[in-house]
Amino acid sequence: MKQILLFSLFTALFFFSTPTWAAVDYHLEVQLHPAQQQLEGTATFSVPQFADRQFHARLAPTAIVHQVRQGTRAINYQFRDDRLSLQLINDDPVTINYSAIFNDPVATIPVHTEDPSFGISATISPVGTYLSAGTAWYPQISAADINYHIRISAPGNTEAITSGRRQYRYHDGAFSTSAWEIDYPLRGLTLSAGPYQVFEDISGSVPIYAYFYPESADLAPTYLKESRRYLDLYERLFGPYPFAHFAIVENFFPTGYGLPGWTLLGNTVIRLPFVVTTSLGHEIAHSWWGNGVWVDFNQGNWSEGLVSYIADHLFEEYNSSENARSYRLNQLITYANLTNPINRFTVQNFIYRSDRPSQSIGYGKTMMVFHMLRHEVGDQIFWRTLGEIAAQQMFTRIGWSHFADYFGAATGRDLTPFFSQWISRTDDLQLQLVQTTQVETDQGWLTGATLKQNTTPYQLMVNIRLENHQEQLTQTIRLNREQHEFSIATEWRPERIIIDPDVDLFRLMAATEIPSTIASIRGSTKLLAVVADHLTPVPAARQSLLAGLRQAHIPIISVEQVTAEQLSQHDLLIFGINDRLMPAAEMDERLKKLLSKEEDGATTCAEGVGVIVTRNPYHPERHAAWFVSDGSEHVVSVARRIPHYGRYGQLFFADGNNQLKELNLPTTTPLQKFFIQQK
């Protein structure tokens, strides 16, 4: 993930059981009072005929219910926790008058948290308002179909936005007011408001809005332009856009939410240069997958992996096949670094991202499942079938079994075993190339090998590539047993054999091919922190880095205390350097020049903060990281951000800004073999 985590939030609402009834007309009037962190609301909705006249709604437990009426008559009610129980007296519409204060605290400084909502579910303030559907900021009723008519007023220049078709917006000097109508199925309403400037565009028949703070207004044209491009792309892939508008809304804390008809991006997020070309498209793709076609959470959350594939991965693929390959390789590396037998779980058990390891499963591994599916069925069937699912299942819940049925019908094959092995197993695929042979024949060369699975066998489609400096040949084999012998004839002599050269399979990488990165240290289950004697970051920076790496509990000892045995038995996080604890030859020369310079015989840091991760010099299968600083005033804020650079192995910061970020690429793999040429 990037420096600021972006994700999509889907709120699953669970209501008290009521009968299924026809379309409900629901009128909601809301007045926001940001200075008091309060809203006043009036909800009026039609009701069905009930045998026992009992009716229930869900409302935030902190709300105050002032009155409940049917028609013009007040009726009895009980309000306990978040359950509002009504005793109906006739078939007239019900009106609920209520008010509520929402004041979840918003951190003024960044904090280390795995919670992508930063613990904020509902807050009203002069800076901004965010009311998530899950907080029940309005009376929520259970019905098969609800037509919402929403009117929102707020003082001054505060503009509000929610889902649906915007009927109007106006200012009368003292208040701004907007009205919205929703005539499609919706699982819950989220509302945002703030002192926005509003910009507008259109893509075909789809209105596009940008609700930006004045200081970000210069970005609105770019976001509108890119939104048009993404909407056009996904309409061509999956059919008509399913909502009444699409809006990019700036938030006052660092979110990246995908909501029905809009995305909510934090003010620190929205200015990141990569967001408009990557994450914006990810959130728009959720309009079809997750917010449009809903997730049956009983079978696991497939939407984050699918959207990662048809957005993040697809954008890399449009740039180049090598970019896409690198993206997939990074997913395997991240999974290997952050998961272990204790925290791994099946894809079908993924519901939402609770931390980085769960993200590597629900986003990364699931993304690879869809990539392997595409290779299994072919491009034409893959994209056509996704379009059929979108057309036929919009606003319904589907699970993995639906994907198996649809793609099975499209191919005329039973694809249940394919899906089952990838979504229901935690014993990950491990592959090894063994017993390679090469023999000269009358027709050329015969290259043979055995491909071994070190787990219960998966059913695989595996690409095998033979190459030399002039020629290349790729063949595909089916593999469904523990060991599979194969041979490939060529007229020319191969110099190398590579299994899965384009990283099309999801597998657990071998220790020798996992590069040393920030994520390697974060994912370590046996980490030791050592405080060296110079270029040592201040204690606050050390503590901040450990907290961000989720390693705050590990032992910290001084360089004088550490033993050779401890150094060899642990992954290492070394604060500073000395002659004993230097990465020496493993350190990249360019980074070494940035990190250190000689002054009067002493080594000092070159005006900043640096991190390098290498193999542990005391144990080649473990990792070691050096975190060094010249005492820069920015070292604490840099330490807080370092964990967000998880895929990198070399970092340098000057004046608090990142100047260098380098990947450490794997150099060995059990899936390739070089053949020695005979002289």
- Give the model confidence (pLDDT) of 253-267 as tens digits: 888 899 999 999 998
The pLDDT confidence band at residue 108, using thresholds 50, 70 and 90, is low
pLDDT at 589: 55
- Give the model confidence (pLDDT) of 616-659 as tens digits: 888 888 899 999 988 778 899 899 999 989 889 889 898 888 88
- Using CA atoms of 248, 253, 259, 263 in order, give the dihedral in degrees to the nearest 10: 20
CB count within 10 Å of CB 1 equals: 18
Report whether 353 contacts 363 (CB < 8 A): yes
Within 394-484, where are the H helices?
A: 400-411, 416-423
Say yes or no to pLDDT of 605 above 90.
Answer: no
Note the Cα 374 to chain centre separation in Å. Answer: 21
Within 201-343, where are the H helices?
A: 220-238, 279-285, 303-307, 314-319, 321-338
pLDDT at 401: 98
Report whether 103 contacts 119 (CB < 8 A): no
Provide, rounded to the nearest whole percent, the portion of the chain with pLDDT above 70. 90
Angle between helices 220-238 and 379-393 (to 10 degrees): 100
Q: Three-state secondary structure along 538-556?
A: CHHHHHHHHHHCCCCCCCE
pLDDT at 283: 95
The single-letter DSSP state of residue 579 is S
Lowest-confidence range among 234-248, 474-488, 640-654, 664-678?
Answer: 664-678
- Give the model confidence (pLDDT) of 325-335 as tens digits: 999 999 999 99
Tell me the average pLDDT across 78-84. 94
Domains and CATH numbers, the chain: 24-195 (2.60.40.1730), 295-423 (1.10.390.10), 431-512+670-674 (2.60.40), 516-662 (3.30.379)
CB count within 10 Å of CB 469 equals: 7
Provide, rounded to the nearest whole percent, the portion of the chain with pLDDT above 90. 70
Who's near 73: CB < 8 A, 6+ residues apart? Answer: 89
pLDDT at 512: 82
CA dist 497 and 500 (Å) reads: 10
Residue type, 533: D
Q: Kindly report the backbone phi and psi dihedral angles of residue 529, in degrees, each rounded to the nearest multiple of 5, phi listed first.
A: -100, 135
CA dist 377 and 221 (Å) reads: 40
Who's near 524: CB < 8 A, 6+ residues apart? Answer: 551, 570, 571, 623
Strands 556-558 and 527-531: parallel
The pLDDT confidence band at residue 465, using thresholds 50, 70 and 90, is very high
Highest mean pLDDT among 558-572, 576-590, 653-667: 558-572
The pLDDT confidence band at residue 666, using thresholds 50, 70 and 90, is low
Lowest-confidence range among 6-15, 193-202, 408-417?
Answer: 6-15
Highest mean pLDDT among 7-16, 222-231, 527-536: 222-231
Q: Name 180's bridge partners.
A: 150, 166
pLDDT at 630: 80
Report whether 365 contacts 509 (CB < 8 A): no
Say yes or no to pLDDT of 394 above 90.
Answer: yes
- Give the model confidence (pLDDT) of 282-326 as tens digits: 999 999 999 999 999 999 999 999 999 999 999 999 999 999 999
Report whether 304 contacts 353 (CB < 8 A): yes
pLDDT at 513: 87
pLDDT at 109: 54
CA dist 370 and 400 (Å) reads: 11
Q: Name 628's bridge partners.
A: 610
Average pLDDT, the chain: 89
Q: Kindly report the backbone phi and psi dihedral angles of residue 409, in degrees, each rounded to the nearest multiple of 5, phi listed first.
A: -65, -35
